[in-house]
Amino acid sequence: MKLFDVYPLQPIELSYGKGTHVFDTNGNEYLDLYGGHAVISIGHNHPHFNDRISDQLQKIPYYSNSVINKIQVELARELGEQSGYTNHNLFLCNSGAEANDNALKIASFHNKKSRLLAFRNSFHGRTSRTLSVTDNPKYRSPMDEYSNVTFLDLNDTRAVKEELSKGDVCAVIIEGIQGVGGINIPENSFLKSLRQLCTDYDTVLILDEIQSGYGRTGKFFAHQYAGIEADIVTVAKGMGNGFPIAGVLISPKVEAFYGMLGTTFGGNHLASAAGLAVLEVLKEEELIPHAARVGNAWMDDLLSLSGVRAVRGKGLMIGIELYEPIKEIRKKLLEKHKILTGVATNPYILRLLPPLSLQESEAERFISCFEDVL
Ligand SMILES: Cc1ncc(COP(=O)(O)O)c(C=O)c1O
């Protein structure tokens, strides 16, 4: 059997990772400014993360959600405390798409409506329902076309109001910062209006923080820059530092009932131990304020480079827009300077999503290498 060929691959095979670096099978060392797609939050091969997982592996790695699991309870408590969402409830699952799929379903269970609002350039996952709110027709099969979704421009408060005032909108789903779409930041004033409008029209506000959450932007969640609270927040990626785990943070006003949601693997003992280890390291190493400090200074330096058209982002979620497509530049960064970077659907944007432990010296190294390839 061969692999189903859906991924264009970079020509390297990795054998080892440590902190902000990965090593290939030929012994080459790479600076990882991609973080395996914003997943590596606390760094590769973190000793505390490894110890917690190994320890749990020796005890009981898995049992289903039919028994008491105190690690889940502890994870929920710690996540509530660190994120400020202390009163929300947590449902654990396995991937970002699954978290968003559940979030949409929870919203519809709650207010019994079914129409959805999403935004142009959005990405919310690859399940059929999450594709319906993802603004990329290329990803959708005929089966994934739903008639009850309306796409609006980001930051267009007037259009949101017009749609919500019809009274039939179940939920609005929005990324804290659009990642795949090219690092597009919703304005604080827009998020504030969105919050108010959702309250006014009995619409559930879902913040997809799968890429922009878990401290990446220098706050636990990107939408917290706007000082708002969402009804539902979805998390994945950095939550497990590579271990598959995701979650849905649900407002206490949503009532749960047995049978409403379910999953075989979600929140199992090993996954919960991994999730808890990540939160412990984020706190212990103060990685969130670190990400804000390093990332914001880095963006100023990046903006001063000639050849750079714009720099957008917050903390360590950064998009660099060039005057030319980034393909060749990205290739040279990899081949000549051994630096891994990310792309976006916009071919002019290079995405930087490094581990939150990135050091200033590493950010500076990128500046000189980037200047060289530019
Ligand atoms: C904002 C956002 N939502 C959802 C997803 C889907 O997550 P997953 O690939 O874990 O299903 C992604 C993945 O890139 C994402 O960036």
Q: Distances in Å between the alpha carbon of 330 and those of 32, 82, 333, 374?
A: 13, 35, 5, 10
Q: 220 falls in which pLDDT band (50, 70, 90)?
A: very high
Q: Which of 44, 47, 38 is nearest to 284 (CA)?
A: 47
Domain boundary among 232, 263, 284: 284
Q: Domain check: are 39 and 165 in the same one?
A: no
Query: What average pLDDT does range 160-166 have in this prediction?
Result: 98
- Is 82 domain-assigned? yes
- Is 7 domain-assigned? no
Q: Domain check: are 133 and 206 in the same one?
A: yes
- Is 4 domain-assigned? no
- Is 352 domain-assigned? yes
Q: Report CA(99)–ligand 1 centroid distance (Å).
A: 9
Domain boundary among 284, 304, 321: 284
Q: Distances in Å between the alpha carbon of 157 and those of 68, 139, 184, 192, 230?
A: 44, 27, 16, 10, 17
Tally of domains within the chain: 2
Q: What is the pLDDT of residue 242?
A: 98
Q: Domain check: are 32 and 98 in the same one?
A: no
Strand (E) or helix (H) holding 164 = helix 157-164
- Is 63 domain-assigned? yes
Q: Read off the pLDDT of residues 294-318 as tens digits, 9 standing for 90 and up.
A: 999 999 999 999 999 999 999 999 9
Q: Domain check: are 99 and 243 in the same one?
A: yes
| Ligand 1 and 211: CB distance under 6 A | yes
The residue assigned the tokens 């399940």 is 127
Q: Read off the pLDDT of residues 42-75 as tens digits, 9 standing for 90 and up.
A: 999 999 999 999 999 999 999 999 999 999 999 9
For ligand 1, what atom is nearest to the CA of residue 175?
1
Query: Residue-wise over 142-154: b if at least 16 C-beta within 10 A, else e?
Result: eebeeeebbebeb
To test the pocket of ligand 1, the residue of 37, 237, 263 to mutate (highest count of ligand atoms within 8 Å of its CB) is 237
Range of the domain at 339: 14-46+286-373
To test the pocket of ligand 1, the residue of 123, 209, 214, 248 to mutate (highest count of ligand atoms within 8 Å of its CB) is 123
Helix, strand, coil percentages, rounded to 5, for the chain: 40, 20, 40
Q: Domain check: are 60 and 35 in the same one?
A: no
| Ligand 1 and 351: CB distance under 6 A | no
| Ligand 1 and 123: CB distance under 6 A | yes
- Is 8 domain-assigned? no
Say if strands 349-352 and 342-343 run parallel, antiparallel, or are unpaired.
Answer: antiparallel
Q: Domain check: are 163 and 254 in the same one?
A: yes
